[in-house]
Amino acid sequence: MGDTNFLASMTFASGEIACNCDECDCGPSVPLDIQRAVQEHLKKRKFEQPVFESSQQLNIQQQRELVKRESGVSVWKLVMPRYHGRGADPIVEYRNSHRILFVKKMPQNATIQSIGKGIIGSAAEESSRKFVNWKQGSSYFLPCSSGIACGWVNTTTITDEKSSTTDNDDVKNTPGGGEDDNVVVYTMKVSPRDLERNQKEEETQQLSPWVAKAVELFGSLSSKESNDEQMLSSELTDKVSEIFNLVMN
């Protein structure tokens, strides 16, 4: 049962006809009728499958949007609303790609936690979540680590948490504010396979400027041995910002 609940929170469980996830290698060669059937099944499972055997449902309020994909490199926008108490369930991904996170917007009253171990939303998973010290305008490198899941939750600050005297289900899943409280993160991803291919073909293949710069940056970072999230220097963050500016313009 845990597997089906976990899959229901994965980003490929969307309502789109074609899967927009860069983790599952679903290409245009898949017949349209099969794509529709798979997506309808995933959509139904996402909304009907409970996290536990009780009546509790997955409550995914985060939004993930594909901004651009080219030559195996993709850019995504993740919007995380702020929630009181335990908060809403996070979008979950497998770390099958190298990724660079750029924190576009980080309200002062927001606190970010990475997902813990266990079924998403379970007491064990929530109690093992760790605080993430993200800063607005900073960037972070998360290397590929196949089989390891990642995801984040935007919660209230510790001060706000302690000041709350109510602890019921209505409060646990109540938004903490409007769009001003949203955390916005842009993520750039590339799989080790696509990175290696682009590096080999860089001299013969005409890569667009933003892809070429992304490949160069990922190439300089992917050799690091640590699997932990690493904050990038201001110099590297400037390079990240330059790439995102090329993507947006």
Specify the pLDDT at position 90.
Answer: 86
Specify the pLDDT at position 16.
Answer: 42
Backbone angles phi, psi at 166, to 5 degrees: -110, 135
Specify the pLDDT at position 226.
Answer: 75
Specify the pLDDT at position 176.
Answer: 52
Task: Give the closest residue to 216 by CA, choosing from 190, 183, 234.
Answer: 190
C-alpha distances (whole Å) from 81 to each of 60, 78, 95, 201 are: 10, 10, 22, 40
- Given a contact cutoff of 8 angstroms between Cβ atoms, the answer to whether 246 and 210 are in contact is yes
Sign of the Cα torsion 214, 217, 223, 224 reads: negative
Q: How do the pLDDT tens digits run along the chain, 249 residues long?
A: 445 554 545 544 444 434 545 555 444 555 677 767 767 766 655 554 434 434 456 677 889 999 999 999 999 999 998 875 555 678 889 899 999 999 999 988 888 999 988 887 788 888 898 999 999 999 999 999 888 889 998 875 544 444 443 444 443 444 555 667 899 999 999 999 999 999 886 555 678 999 999 999 999 998 776 778 899 999 999 999 999 999 998
Task: Give the closest residue to 112 by CA, choosing from 176, 66, 156, 49.
Answer: 156
Tokens representing residue 126 in the block? 């929530």
Specify the pLDDT at position 1.
Answer: 47
- Given a contact cutoff of 8 angstroms between Cβ atoms, the answer to whether 93 and 149 are in contact is yes
CA distance 15 to 214: 29
CA distance 138 to 153: 18
Specify the pLDDT at position 162.
Answer: 42
Run of H or E including 132? strand 130-132
Q: Could you say which DSSP state residue 202 is in?
A: T
CA angle 104, 105, 109 (to 5 degrees): 155
* 76 bridge partner residues: 66, 187
Specify the pLDDT at position 50.
Answer: 37
